[in-house]
Amino acid sequence: MANLIIFSLISKIFSAFKEVSGIIGYNMKLIFLIISNVVYTIVFNLFKSEKGRELVLQLFDSADVVVENFRPGAMESWGLGPDVAKKRNPGLIYARISGYGQTGPYSEKPGYASVTEGFGGFRYINGEPGKAPVRPNISLGDTVSAIHAALGVTLAIIAREKSGEGQVVDVALYESIFNLMEGIVPEYDGGGVVREPSGTTITGIVPTNTYPCRDGKFVVIGGNGDSIFKRLMIAAGRPDMSENPEMKDNSGRLKHEDEIDEALGEWCKTLLAKEVIDILEEARVPVGPIYSVEDMMEDPHYQARGMFERVEIDGKPLQIPAIMPLLEETPGRTDWPGGDIGSHNKEILGGLLDLSEEDMDKLRSEGVIG
């Protein structure tokens, strides 16, 4: 994912894989192809082949950026760590993504996104009070860490423009999640307050919640600005609340949170979701639907913004997410979906390392490349 974010906008890239047993299941294949689009894939046996490791080092010599996500110490054990790489290519930027970072007492622990989302504090504050913490149905920790890696690499590139030197970008999954935790640290350190899960609301801001409508759909309403709150309650048929002096600011509304939510909930239940949205948009109140992927793909705004691109996989058309963010002068694009693992061995090894067909056949027979 970090490779896709970093390079789909700026250059050709390749990914070197260790030996793998294959992609299991159609959905996993789609995920791999999507996150590997615009990436050239090559395969080396890093575990058993010294020649394979030497070829990787040769690729490092001409690389701008290396991204790896093995457990800390693995690359060093193969002679591929940043100290070795930097001697050969001083300008190399070496991004490392792991569960707990390259240093510290937990650095050697295995760290999947699911585990580090808990360790980073995210799972604690999500869900209903008194119930098991809730996981979003995506690998949020992986994606957020990829964004942090892309940002770190970007900053390192800017620094290299001044110094000429590369550097290590050390990204930990749990730290990327921790970086989303907003005010929980000063709340605790300054006031002794531990932020708890709050269901569909957010602690300390009223009203902002999710409400069911007559058609079984849900809407999100954010009416926590003082003037917005007045417009919201008038639109919802509760002018008494809009003029209530005890609800004129957020500190007062906090004391009446249940009362306000009940009033909005009862109003929403009498209307279709679209009706709620139309009424509140007319009143200039922030409101929106809860979208499924089907809703997204049918929405004209998504279409107008070009949020989907069409590729061909196994001879069939497939829509995938477009490259974001949108750059006005140099937008990203998907030229092709990701290929099978090792499908670009010939192009990369022949083009960058000048290996002949004979050389590659020999390496393949020796188990050096896949």
Give the pLDDT score at 77: 94
Phi, psi of 346 (to 5 degrees): -65, -45
What tokens does 315 get?
Answer: 């001879």
Q: Which helix (H) or strand (E) holds 313?
A: strand 308-313
Of 259, 290, 321, which one is at a domain's C-terminal end? 290
Containing domain of residue 129, as a range? 2-180+300-365
Give a yes or no: residue 187 inside a domain: no
Q: Are residues 173 and 27 in the same domain?
A: yes
Q: What's the pLDDT score for residue 18?
A: 45
Can you tell me the distance from the alpha carbon of 210 to that of 220, in angstroms, rounded to the nearest whole number?
A: 4
The answer on 315 and 285 residing in a single domain is no
Q: Which residue shows structure tokens 């998907």?
A: 334
Residues 245 and 158 in one domain: no
Q: How far apart are the first and last CA of the chain?
A: 22
Report pLDDT for 12.
Answer: 42
Alpha helices in the chain (DSSP H): 2-7, 26-35, 50-61, 74-77, 82-88, 113-119, 140-163, 173-178, 184-191, 226-235, 239-242, 250-255, 257-269, 273-282, 293-298, 300-304, 345-353, 357-365
What's the half-sphere exposure (Cβ side, CA atoms, 13 Å) at 262? 4
Closest C-alpha to 46, from 18, 80, 12, 82: 18
Question: Number of folded domains in the chain?
Answer: 2
- Residues 74, 212: one domain? no
The candidate with the shortest Cα–Cα distance to 236, out of 203, 205, 201, 209, is 209
What's the one-letter identity of residue 264? L
Q: Does 222 reside within a domain? A: yes
Say whether both 20 and 89 belong to one domain: yes
pTM tops 0.95: no
pLDDT for res 3: 52
| 108 in a structural domain | yes
Question: Bridge-partner residues for 212, per DSSP?
Answer: 218
Walking along the chain (370 residues) 10 residues at a time, the average pLDDT comes out as 46 45 51 73 86 93 93 95 96 97 96 95 96 93 94 96 97 97 96 96 96 98 97 98 97 97 98 98 98 97 95 85 90 80 85 91 89
C-alpha span between 82 and 235 (Å, rounded): 60
**Final residue of a domain: which of 266, 290, 314?**
290
Q: List the CATH number of the domain containing 220.
A: 3.30.1540.10
Q: What is the predicted pLDDT for the residue at 107?
A: 97
Q: Which residues contact 7 (CB under 8 A, 6 or more apart)?
A: 13, 38, 39, 65
Per-residue pLDDT, 108: 94
pLDDT at position 239, please? 97
Whether 354 is catalytic is no
Q: Which of 290, 318, 349 lies at the terminal end of a domain, its last residue? A: 290
Angle at 299 between CA 294 and CA 305, to 5 degrees: 120
- 185 domain-assigned: no
Strands 93-98 and 168-172: parallel
Q: Are residues 84 and 143 in the same domain?
A: yes
pLDDT for position 132 = 96
Nearest 10 degrees: Cα torsion 64, 70, 73, 77: -80
Whether 274 is in a domain gets the answer yes
User: Which of these is catalytic: 61, 64, 83, 142?
Assistant: 142
331 assigned to some structural domain = yes
